[in-house]
Structure 1
Amino acid sequence: MAFAQLHCVESLTQAKENEQTDALIVMGPFDRVEDTELSEAIRAAQQSDQRVGKETLLLLQTDVPGNRLVVAPTGPLNRDYDDVRQIFDAAAKAAKIAQDAGARHPVLMLNAVDTQDERYQQAYLAAYLGFCQALYQPLEAREAHGEDEIEPTKAVTLVGALNADWAMAVEAGKRVARDLAGTEPERMAPPRFAEYCRQAFAHTPVKVTVIDDYQQLQHEYPLAAAVGRASIEVERHRPCVIRLEYKGANPERTVMFAGKGIVYDTGGADLKVGGHMAGMSRDKGGAAAVAGFVKTVAEVQPDNINVIAEIAAVRNSIGSDAFVADEIITGHSGKRVRIGNTDAEGRLAMADLLSHLREEAAASEVPCDLYTVATLTGHAALSKGPYSALVPNGAARKAQVAQQLFEQGEVFGDPAEISWSRREDFDFVKGRTLCDDLLSSNNGPSATTARGHQFPMAFLVGVSGLDAHGIDSDKPLNYVHVDIAGSGVEGGDWQHGKPTAAPVTMLAGHYLRK
């Protein structure tokens, strides 16, 4: 798995000593230029082209690597709404221009960026990650054409103070997340999703366990098994649960994840129509992000945390054996769930994972944080735009887990917004009769349902048994639901947009920061 390897130096002079460097990319606001030699060159260029410093441009410039100078403006960085993503975006635009121009080992340098400003403390990391995001090519393309052919840039040098190993660990995780999220439904059908995980974690401290026996799934993960029921007759589509475990040497906390891995979502019996099925191979973005974060953990190998992740890799197929609305299915926790809409399958796939993790967390002597991560609702995309939605329970709210994630997301350029769960959300999912304990959803689109991305969190709390671990209990457990329906792909284009790997960077910044 190749991506641009990072080398960090203290000065441009040191960067130029490496004869392989072949372009210089300068990012930042260009109302002033800090390097004297470059300032003279840029001022001269501006006299003949007023776009210089306003648009990302390639200039011919002697005395820089490869005689290629890419000026990548961020615009102002001192306004109320400016943030480090502007550096990420500038690096992404410049990376493509430099590579298309023939550069294979460019140098990245910031101009007039105050890295002492809290907003830009991770500016160097953002520059590297933006560079890698732009040059990433999908897994199927790499397999068809060869990595060397379509990802020719193998190295990048950064002028600045950044731990290169840490930065590459984050990028390694993001690359796994992009591969898993963005790959088409046959190449990343459940068994092949599991095989990719086995390969990604081979020769690492992460233990990979795959449960693919359908009778065992029915017994231990009955709600996920129901979602995958119509796929059983097609061997290559059969569901599985993938468990990833990392143990730190001296753990102070265990972080647990349930990831939604719907490898293709037809909507099931509540079939998606009118062209709304296109892009549903990306409905595994939550599971992809979970696996990506674990990959970063495997690279960093922290001593102070354990990480346990369970992923439901399931295809929500349509067929004669498909589960349907009105069915009542008993989950792992013993809660009876009336199905409200088969297109609200992601919460069902994660429900039993979360129930298993809840049992482990309740028995643990080490404090635990629990998460569900999913491309769950159109409502999250509509209400939060390109930001991940964080919905904490009472214990996580009291411990300020979501607030801390929010702050790290701002600093690391992987931003989120917080939504609070309310009593109306829990009322919404209450069973309506003595036959059922919970209703999985209403039968309308989440985007037109009031509190459409908050009430699923209440369902997950109830169906997993976490309602017995609220702030009123003897054993409160921190839990945050993370909906990445708005943040999971660039531009919100679920059919063609490049996966962003949200919220891998935010989680790494919170739990693995170096």
Structure 2
Amino acid sequence: MELDYALQEVGSLSEGGYDGIVLVSEGGKEPGIPTELSSVIKKAEQVDADLHDSGAVLGVELPAKRLVYAPTGKITGDYHDVRQFGDAAKKGILRVLKSGAKSPLIVLVDNKRFERTRLVTLLGALEGLYMNLQWREDRPEKSPKVKALGVWSDDPKGLPALIQLAGALETGRVLARDIGGPDPERMSPINVEKAVRGAFPANSGIALDVVSDEAILNKEYPLYSAVNRAASVIDRHKGRIIYLTYTGSAPTQTLLIVGKGVTYDTGGADIKAGGIMAGMCRDKCGAAAVAGFMKILSILKPKHLKVIGAMSMVRNSVGENCYVSDEMIMSRAGKRVRVGNTDAEGRMIMADVLCRMKELALGEKNPQIFTIATLTGHALRTVGEGYTIAMDNGPARKAQTAAKLATAGEVIGDIIDISRVRREDYETHRGKAEGEDVVQATNLPSAQAKRGHQAPSAFLILASGLEEHGLESAKPLLYTHLDIAASCGEVPKDATGAPVLALSTAYLDL
């Protein structure tokens, strides 16, 4: 799997073959802007006072003939971040295509405010060139938007490596979007498996193992199987757990990542009513992010990492065979779990897989465990659209895992905020009756519950047995939960692929 258009290194703006130039800039201030473009901008600002806020399409005395000036707007160090450049680049590339360009060229210049300005700018442009999977399939004559994108940089020596890196990162994001974005039939569990098999052929360096036998699922993943029960009566909706493993040539650290892959969430017996079911095809974006990250690994092949990714794919259906509140289910970790709300299915389908990762982690070198999930509406209410929330257990907090991930996200424009799992979160999910170890959920939707995005992290720790591997245990394990409900991309917008860029920046030494 590769991008369906070429990224071409451009040494001079006088080269032919391009019919539109995109320049992203903070008010034309960067010293690396070519004089052929800066002179045009200076002339234009004399007659357009809004130029550096709204941008413009300008004529240039170059073979491309048109320049789309895509300004970032005024940036302040108090609250702006590098996304100003990525967002402007996406708008710029869409504008140059709208102006009639078929072969655009993007100009990358450094900005002293941010350390990865060029990379983020290029990634923003590539995001603008993305076409969602079903559109590509239904209207192949419209795909790709361009045959090639030219790339010029004020750092020509570093340009080849920059293009290679951006191409790898975008290829991973494309796979994440292609799995996370489509409707619930196009990316049903069986079709997700097909997509993953296509993305990771035998020579990819990624080992693939799929667990779909219902007898095995019922025995080894009982919480997952409860959610899968209603969907399992329909062949195309039957769930599966997909394991992907990458092993570098000299690994010094192991990442174990579980992704929530609910292909559609009806809410189950506690059905989503009042129009809030729409958009629930995006409930698989956690698993999609796992696939996207693994794709980047298959391209960049870092020597120092081993990564085990799990995509917990299921449809939370409603019907005569669905699981219901008040059921008592024994988890893989031997914890008796009482179901409180069937719409809290994400934590159910990850807890047993997380337990499996815990078991594997005990035999791995320097392990760090993650869960990635569109888990709670509370996350969106807390941080607003576009932000991932990271929550550490005790050992991960001591190692500053969430803080390091947040720093990486700030660099690459894949922003992560940090929350802390507190005593109240554990108390919410501890059993309330004799013989009851864990309560799966309160009877309220997460968006209405107190500490609605933090408490599910405590459930996952309790139900998986990770509580026995805290700071004071003989074998502490680092675990961080990432809630991407606010950052995955809401319908009808494209899926984003978050937090693939942050993970890559934090762990691949980009």
* TM class by smaller structure: over 0.9
- State the alpha-carbon separation in 2 of the partners of residues 53 and 147 from structure 1: 36
2:17 aligned to 16, 20, 27, which one? Answer: 20
Counterpart-to-counterpart distance in 2, 1:362 and 1:147: 51
Please name the residue that 1:408 is paired with. Answer: 408
- Other-structure match for 2:300: 300
Alignment match, 2:170: 171
Matches within 5 A, 1:152-231: 152-159=146-153, 160=155, 161-162=158-159, 163=161, 164-202=163-201, 203-231=203-231
Amino acid in structure 1 at the alignment position of 2:20:
A
**CA apart distance, 1:123:** 0.9
Task: Quote the residue 1:451 is aligned against.
Answer: 451
Question: Which residue of 1 is the match for residue 43 of structure 2?
Answer: 44
Aligned to 1:348: 348
2:53 is paired with a residue whose SS is coil
Alignment deviations for residues 142-167 of structure 1 (CA, whole Å, 9 cap, x no partner): 11111653523432313143522121
Residue number in structure 2 paired with 1:468:
468
What is the deviation of 1:310? Answer: 1.0
1:442-488, CA deviations, whole angstroms, 9 ceiling, x for partnerless residues?
Answer: 01021121111001000101111111110101111110000001111
1:259-408 equivalences in 2 (<5 Å): 259-364=259-364, 366-385=365-384, 386-408=386-408
Separation of aligned partners in 2, 1:95 and 1:225? 45
Equivalent-residue separation in structure 2 for 1:282 and 1:480 (angstroms): 21
Distance 1:255 1:217 in 2: 23
Equivalent position of 2:6 in the other structure: 5
Which stretch of structure 1 is more off in the superposition, 153-162 or 305-314? 153-162
- Three-state SS of the structure 2 residue aligned to 1:15 is coil
Measured in 1, the distance between the counterparts of 2:233 and 2:184 equals 17
Q: Distance in 1 between matches of 2:476 and 2:378?
A: 29
Mapped partners of 1:245, 1:31: distance in 2: 46
2:89 is paired with a residue whose SS is helix
1:114 maps to 2:111 = yes
TM-score calculated relative to the size of structure 2: 0.95
462-471 or 100-109, which deviates more: 100-109
Structure 1 residues 33 and 331: alpha-carbon distance in aligned structure 2, compared to 1, 3 A threshold: closer
| Other structure's SS at 1:16 match | coil
The residue matched to 1:312 in structure 2 has which SS? Answer: strand
Task: Between 425-434 and 22-31, report the one with greater CA deviation.
Answer: 22-31
Counterpart of 1:30 in structure 2 is 27
Q: What is the SS of the residue equivalent to 1:194?
A: helix
Instruction: Please report how far the alpha carbon of residue 17 of structure 1 lies from its aligned counterpart in structure 2 after TM superposition.
Output: 5.2
Deviation at 1:394, TM superposition (A): 0.4
1:93 partner amino acid: K
- Of stretches 153-162 and 253-262 in structure 1, the one that deviates more from structure 2 is 153-162
Partner of 1:495: 491
1:434 equivalent in structure 2: 434
Q: Does 1:140 align with 2:134?
A: yes
Per the TM alignment, residue 440 of structure 1 is displaced from its structure 2 partner at its CA by 0.7
Cα deviation, residue 56, structure 1:
2.9
TM-score between both structures, scaled by the size of structure 1 = 0.94
2:123 matched to which residue of 1?
Answer: 129
Q: How far apart, CA to CA, are the structure 1 residues paired with 2:136 and 2:475?
A: 48
Counterpart residue number, 1:485: 485
Shift of residue 228, structure 1, vs aligned partner: 1.0
CA distance in 2, matches of 1:456, 1:84: 31
Deviation of residue 107 (structure 1)? 2.3
**1:3 Cα offset (Å):** 4.3
CA distance in 1, matches of 2:42, 2:16: 27
| Aligned-partner SS, 1:502 | coil
Q: Which residue of 2 aligns with 1:97?
A: 95
The answer to whether the 8 A contact 1:105-1:157 is kept is no
What does the per-residue CA deviation read over 1:294-336, in whole Å, with 9 as the maximum and x for residues that have no partner? 1111111111000101111100000001000000111111111
Identity %: 41
How far, CA to CA, are the matches of 1:90 and 1:238 in structure 2? 42
Q: Which residue of 2 aligns with 1:69?
A: 67
Greater shift, 475-484 or 210-219, is seen at 210-219
Cα distance in 1 for residues equivalent to 2:29 and 2:149: 29
- C-alpha distance in 2 between matches for 1:153 and 1:90: 22
Alpha-carbon distance in 1 for matches of 2:14, 2:379: 49
> Could you tell me how far apart the structure 1 residues matched to 2:398 and 2:39 are?
54
Aligned match of 2:503 in 500, 507, 510? 507
Q: Give distance in 2, aligned partners of 1:130 and 1:346.
A: 30
One-letter amino acid matched to 1:45: A
The C-alpha deviation readout for 1:20-76, integer Å capped at 9, x for no partner, is 23322111112646443323222222334433222132112222x411101010012
How far apart, CA to CA, are the structure 1 residues paired with 2:487 and 2:298? 24
| Contact map agreement 2:129 2:146 (CA 8 A) in 1 | no
What is the alpha-carbon distance in structure 1 between the residues aligned to residue 4 and residue 417 of structure 2?
30
In the aligned structure 1, how far is the partner of 2:282 from the partner of 2:84?
26
> How far apart are the structure 2 equivalents of 1:28 and 1:16?
17
Kindly indicate whether residue 74 of structure 2 is the aligned counterpart of residue 80 of structure 1: no
Which secondary structure does the structure 1 equivalent of 2:173 belong to?
Answer: helix
Q: Check the 8 A contact 2:108/2:122 in 1, yes or no.
A: no
What letter is aligned with 1:186? E
Deviation of the 1:217 alpha carbon: 0.8
> What is residue 241 of structure 1 aligned with on the other side?
241
CA–CA separation in structure 1 for the residues paired with 2:5 and 2:22:
15
* 1:513 to partner: Cα distance: 2.6
1:500 is paired with a residue whose SS is: coil
- Indicate how the Cα distance of structure 1 residues 387 and 303 shifts in structure 2: closer, same or farther if over 3 A, else same: same
| SS in structure 2 of the partner of residue 284 of structure 1 | helix
Kept in 2: contact 1:268–1:342 (CA 8 A): yes
Partner Cα distance (1:322, 1:437) in 2: 23
SS in 1 for 2:174: helix
C-alpha contact (below 8 Å) 2:243/2:309 kept by paired residues: yes
- Residue deviations 1:253-281, cap 9 Å, x none? 00011110000000000000110110001
CA distance in 2, matches of 1:334, 1:90: 51
Paired residues, number: 500
8 Å CA contact 1:138, 1:182 repeated in 2 = yes
Q: Could you tell me which runs of 5 or more consecutive residues in structure 2 were left unpaired when the two chains were aligned.
A: none
CA root-mean-square deviation = 1.6
